[in-house]
Amino acid sequence: MTGIQLNTYTEPAQLLAEERQKTKFPVREMTYYLDGGKKQTEELERIMASIERNPAFSNDDQYDLDKDQQREITFARVGELTKMILHTMNEAEAMKRVALINLLDPSTGTRTGVHFGLFFNSIRGSGTDDQFGYWVDKGAGSLEKFFGCFSMTELGHGSNVAGLETTATYDKSTEEFVINTPHVGATKWWIGGAAHTATHTVCYARLIVDGKDYGVKQFVVQLRDSDHNLKPGIAIGDIGKKMGRDGIDNGWIQFTNVRIPRQYMLMKYSKVAPDGTVTEPPLNQLSYGALVGGRVSMVYDSVQTAKRFLTIALRYAAVRRQFSSTPGEKETRLIDYTYHQRRLIPLLAYTFAMRASAEEVMNFYIKTTKQLQAVDTSNKTSLQSAIDDAKELFALSAGMKAFSTWATAGIIDECRQACGGHGYSGYNGFGQGYNDWVVQCTWEGDNNVLTLSAGRSLILSGIDAREGKRVGDAVSYMSREKELHTRKLNGRSLTDSKVLIEAWECAAARNIGVGADAYLALIAKGLNQAQAFEELSQQRFECARIHTRLNQVHAFFQSIEHANEQLKPVLTDLATLFALWSIEKDGASFLSSGYLTTSELDEVTTLVDSYNHKIRDQVIGIVDSFNLSDFFINAPIGNYDGDVYKHYFEKVTRRNPPRDHKAPYHDKIDAFFNRAVPEDEDLSEMDV
């Protein structure tokens, strides 16, 4: 090792400072682009500062807490967050605050979000104006002696909401519903807030009137009285430790003939008159608006969480040295290895694509929600238009939620592995971050189930497009299905955004077209719709996967059109890399669609390497533009100044002070080493 002059303690900070000097775009302008403008960035910074300065959110001990400690601290933080939300009286700002808390402490964000995002929004979205006003007056808006939870999933049913078994039987004589858990399998399960906190719940139960089952509806049920004692007929327990998010008091609930007034059924859509007359909406899914809102917010959460872990991994990669190709020279930094670039830089591009598509789905959600709230149900044309948009929103949000949360789970773990042994340390956040995150792939719609649902919708939309019927903007390319089937690269540039979008349209159109043909063939053989779609499960999944990636590619390129001119070069490089890397990952689809030949696919691989090398010098500037402070990053190897070993060592020794070198269980160690040694173990006379 002669000739090597290394100081791994002092060098990293200098290296990261040098990396920043390579940035060719205005970092602050990139932050504005990502946040939606200067005003939004300044607002986010103000909110972040207020959180960081609040002692309740101190997070130095975050990775050392047990379940009970997490529960206690989380509830204290819920109180502080609630004060912040109620103080602002601004829903948009409140949502931003909760989103940032989700990044810092997902348990607190979820525990608060269950009330405001699920319970409160269910009443607002599925209740009448009078019902909403009533529950606001009761304290649902201010959380005064009130906390709501959301009782949908059961021990025996999760994603299949239509199969839930809790019953709400109408008693005409008293104008009450009787809520009942018929057996253990119908126990409400995974209910956030139920174990310790909630006073009320929105309960999903089967409406039974005169012995007829009208399917699952929503009912408000009081769980605890003003002294927080359980109401008669209510049984509640704690489901205990989970894989992550232990700060949430998830519980189970059983109802034994619990009576509630008729007005406690949420009746914006389905209605039950005093005499038991039931009026049904034209589309039952209209009452599930709170779930759609949750899915849309999870796409945003995916972006924020991906930003955090990519910042850690890329800053670390820029300063960590490992091996040398030439004896006597300095070891190479991780970021300079071609394969390491391939592991992380495309994921950076992916995060930008998710952000752009999140903007699109959020705008569509806002537009559709307003349309549904204002729709005149007596106007058939207006109603049908609203229903069509609602169906498209359900499908779009399902696919986006599934593939974004899956992507972020993959990003967290790839970033962990890219940080080597230090990525495995609890103090660098990856372990808790992954465990806290992956529930997003399951709750509010299991990702596989959502994907199959989205694929089903896409195949039906493909058939509608062939018949000249109205289809949503997201699948409008299917109206050009025949033309797309004939398109090929034909010598055009694989770095042209229009060519890349067209390539993805061809792949998506082929998948949906194949699915539509197969579906129609199965129907012609006598299968019913459900049977046909079950046979096409894999094709449905592929349709949703390719369509969602097309949506992300298109949204990313489209978002660049309105960006600052100084940002366009690096953004275009990122978007091009994302589209090319995605083609490389999915080469079979482009070969089978006929758009690319094998030699052209080889060119894609060469271009991916080229764009990774091109973007390499910009990655530190890019992650800096994410604008996350060390407090929100909460990983010493990802700190802004790059002094990774200093911060990491200090964190470990601060949390585990080397005062007593004897273990807390030293008596057991002592007993083992000083145990009586049997004669056949006595080696003292061994002659070596």
Q: Is the dihedral of CA 493, 494, 497, 502 positive or negative?
A: positive
Specify the pairing of strand 258-261 against strand 251-255: unpaired
Q: State the Cα–Cα distance between residues 48 and 551, nearest whole angstrom.
A: 31
Any idea of the CA torsion for 540, 546, 551, 557, to the nearest 10 degrees? 180
Residue 656 buriedness (CB in 10 A; 0-12 / 13-18 / 19+): exposed
Q: How far is CA 303 from the centre of its chain?
A: 8
Q: Which helix (H) or strand (E) holds 399?
A: helix 380-418
Q: Is the dihedral of CA 525, 162, 155, 187 positive or negative?
A: negative
Of 341, 463, 456, 362, residue with least CA distance to 404:
362
Token pair, residue 136, equals 């606001």
Going by C-beta distance under 8 Å and a sequence separation of 6 or more, which residues neighbour residue 253? 151, 181, 187, 188, 191, 194, 201, 223, 234, 235, 236
Could you tell me where the beta strands, DSSP code E, fall in 152-231?
Answer: 167-171, 176-180, 188-191, 200-209, 212-222
Q: State the Cα–Cα distance between residues 660 and 585, nearest whole angstrom.
A: 52
444 as an active site residue: the answer is yes
Q: State the Cα–Cα distance between residues 643 and 319, nearest whole angstrom.
A: 9
Tally Cβ neighbours within 10 Å of residue 505: 25
Question: To which residue do tokens 């537009």 refer?
Answer: 367
Calculate ∠ Cα 359-551-126, nearest 5°. 55
Query: Could you give the residue ranges of the DSSP H alpha helices within 442-567?
Result: 447-466, 481-486, 497-524, 529-535, 537-560
From the list 19, 165, 176, 444, the catalytic residue is 444
Calculate ∠ Cα 334-338-343, nearest 5°. 75
Beta-bridge partners for 178: 169, 259
178: left (phi over 0), alpha (psi -120 to 50) or beta: beta
Judge whether 633 and 35 are in contact, CB under 8 Å: no
Catalytic residue list? 444
